[in-house]
Structure 1
């Protein structure tokens, strides 16, 4: 089913397959010498969500690109002493944690700032794995490796820290390794929704959002549908079927595309920013800015807060290796695109809060989905 250009800003092929997109070519592709011009719509979005002027946004995106290029080199230089890394927006630099002073000079030579800490990333990851083996009660929202704190952080839903089951979980968590405990306002939930208006795709009466085009289809969230289920587009015409889906444990899926629908390497800007090309899937560092838009809430931006977090959604569905952001989302945004610059990052899984009062949202990294199903991202 083809859709005419005039129905929505952007390419008609994009509109068919990307019910929402988070891309904006705010920064150049890796290796470019100068930043692309910031569109007025994007400047407004970053000013609204991150409090940045156009000049500040342009400078930050250039800093983030350099930090992303430095991150892998610094990790290799640190070797077994590596203990994580993060981007600092105030300094515009990447900080890398290492255990002991032996690798400080080698890491600093890559262009990163260095912090000496007690626990290596390997030790923290091992503790995280032991926590993942525990059964979490509803009062425990999530847990992750926090490189800045050099520990595993467990977030408990406000008012539930005194629950007997929560206390037991925390005792077992502390026995697994270095743990600190925080509090969140609400329990996270997924962002699927019943049928409402907008520019969605549908699985039965569930509405979700398309993530990124791959050759042969698109990727999205696993909780939106199971393998074999049929998918229809914004106009209820048939698109294809879920070819693979995983939820809980993971939250990813991919859908085949046919019946006159096709894929393009573009995601929607919803009129806030121009529809944008996707040029790759280079992973952004913790601390980087990140944007998304969905079939419900359209375009919003925020900061990448943490990686490899285990989330205990309401209803008891536990999902591993999610990335946490300060970007808001609402029901119907599930499955949609998270993007940093012109690089695909992941598909929306769930979160808490809304885009009126604020909240946090997690996404499933796109490179994991591509690797799991042997897919190839459609890029410009």
Structure 2
């Protein structure tokens, strides 16, 4: 059993990723600031990405600039925008466009233009059709996502031939869909002891980020954690959740707890969250969970759809940060910007793995929540 004080510790841990001053749901994210990188972030990036301290600092600065540039160019390019990503060492932002006439505008912002045949809107529309296909057509596919660098929608499956039914049911252009053989089988990450947990019946998950809703305090977490029961131990109650389809929920904590703008980092240090600007593909990202603690990787794709045994979850972000059962619901952060809550993944932190998070901004918007920021 855990005391109310334990829930307080978990809720405070969650808040770390998200901030220090409240940001109302739907408001523009706070600017990304890396003037003084957290020692916990730098330490974990060195460990998990094989970087020196200076390389980590340089990478974070490049990623900060990339976020600002990508936001400006996506707005400027409008319907011709086809996605953005960082190269391997994050020294160059690549921006895809379907209109070669916009290449000079991209270069003017310091980015490298990539001319492609399909816009991001077109790729998202293809993925939406895959999402809406009948459940029986999805059985041969593990997951699918929009992949900006290849200008395709990628489907991963143990048996690629088994994805034909999904592509046909979606009526998708076969030239725009790339099927990749993969043994990856994502599963919700629950039920392993460790870290700063909260329990739902006999299951265990991790706190995401501290939030408020009016005078109510609480935290966001993964929706699949709610499936086990409606109440949490230490004391809390799920107020709303979505799973499958989405994988998010929020829990109201009992009075007497305190929300903090922190996420637990490496060695017990706290990382302060300053906003929730979405990082671009190729950026570094770290996550905190009750099983494996503080782990880092890279953002591989946004807008992935993952089929778990319970059904398909859409709109997830795919990363190379490892995780294990029990880490579900825990925080993802890039620099000082909250990114999302752990949904599921494959592999582990011994051999390496792939982990998916539910972006945090849609959770706040869906339930009218306010992040605790710092």
TM-score, normalised via structure 2 length: 0.88
Q: 1:289 to 1:91 in 2, by over 3 A?
A: closer
Counterpart in 2 of 1:192? Answer: 190
Q: Could you tell me how far apart the structure 2 residues matched to 1:280 and 1:31 are?
A: 7
Matches within 5 A, 1:269-348: 269-271=265-267, 274-313=269-308, 315-348=309-342
Could you tell me which residue of structure 2 aligns to residue 7 of structure 1? none
The separation in 1 between residues aligned to 2:229 and 2:368, in whole angstroms, is 18
Q: Please, what is the CA RMSD of the aligned residues? A: 2.4
2:38 and 2:238 map into 1 onto residues whose CA distance is 37
The reply on whether 1:35 has 2:35 as its aligned counterpart is yes
**Is the 2:129–2:172 Cα contact (8 Å) retained in structure 1?**
no
Question: How far apart, CA to CA, are the structure 1 residues paired with 2:104 and 2:186?
Answer: 41
Which whole-Å CA distance do the structure 1 matches of 2:299 and 2:37 have between them?
23
Q: How many Å separate the matches in 1 of 2:200 and 2:118?
A: 45
Gaps of 5+ in 1: 4-11
Query: In the comparison of the two structures, how many residue pairs are matched?
Result: 355
Deviation (angstroms), 1:174: 7.0
Q: CA deviation at 1:89?
A: 3.8
Show the counterpart of 1:8: none
What is the DSSP-based 3-state SS (H/G/I as helix, E as strand, rest coil) of the residue aligned with 1:140? Answer: coil
Q: Is the 8 A contact 1:297 1:333 kept in 2?
A: yes
Rounded to whole Å, the distance in 2 between the matches of 1:82 and 1:2 is 49
Tell me whether 1:182 sits opposite 2:180 in the alignment: yes
Q: Which residue of 1 aligns with 2:259?
A: 263
Asked if the contact 1:98–1:114 (Cα under 8 Å) also holds between the matched residues in 2, the reply is yes
- The separation in 2 between residues aligned to 1:278 and 1:263, in whole angstroms, is 13
Counterparts of 1:206-285 in structure 2, within 5 Å, are 206-215=203-212, 216-226=217-227, 229-233=230-234, 238=235, 240-271=236-267, 274-285=269-280
Matches within 5 A, 1:145-160: 145-157=146-158, 160=159
1:264 aligned counterpart, secondary structure: coil
User: Whose RCO is larger (CA < 8 A, sep 6+)?
Assistant: 2
Residue pair 1:23, 1:269 contacting (<8 A) in 2 also:
no
Is the 1:218–1:254 contact (alpha carbons within 8 Å) kept by the matching residues of 2? Answer: yes
Asked if structure 2 preserves the Cα contact closer than 8 Å seen for 1:67 and 1:94, the reply is: yes
Question: What is the aligned counterpart of 1:202 among 199, 223, 231?
Answer: 199
Runs of 4 or more off by more than 6 Å in structure 1? none
| Residue 27 of structure 2: aligned partner | none
**1:93 and 1:24, CA in 2 relative to 1: closer, same or farther beyond 3 A?**
farther
Instruction: Check the 8 A contact 1:286/1:304 in 2, yes or no.
Output: yes
Task: Tell me the equivalent position of 1:131.
Answer: 130
* CA separation of 1:285 and 1:72: change in aligned 2, threshold 3 A: same
Name 2:77's counterpart in structure 1.
Answer: 78
For residue 2 of structure 1, report the CA deviation from its aligned partner: 6.1
CA contact (8 A) 2:264 2:270 kept: yes
Q: Deviations over 1:125-175 (max 9, x none)?
A: 111111111134443111111111011111112xx2344xx3322444574
1:42, 1:338 → 2: CA distance? 12
Q: Aligned with 2:82: secondary structure?
A: strand
User: Aligned equivalents of 2:347 and 2:223: distance in 1?
Assistant: 21
Bigger shift: 123-132 or 222-231? 222-231
Pick closer, same or farther for the CA change 1:251–1:189 going to 2, 3 Å. same
Distance in 1, matches of 2:228 and 2:164, equals: 38
8 Å Cα contact 1:154/1:181 also seen in 2:
yes
Match of 1:67 in 2: 66
Listed as ranges, the gaps of 5+ residues in structure 2 are 20-29
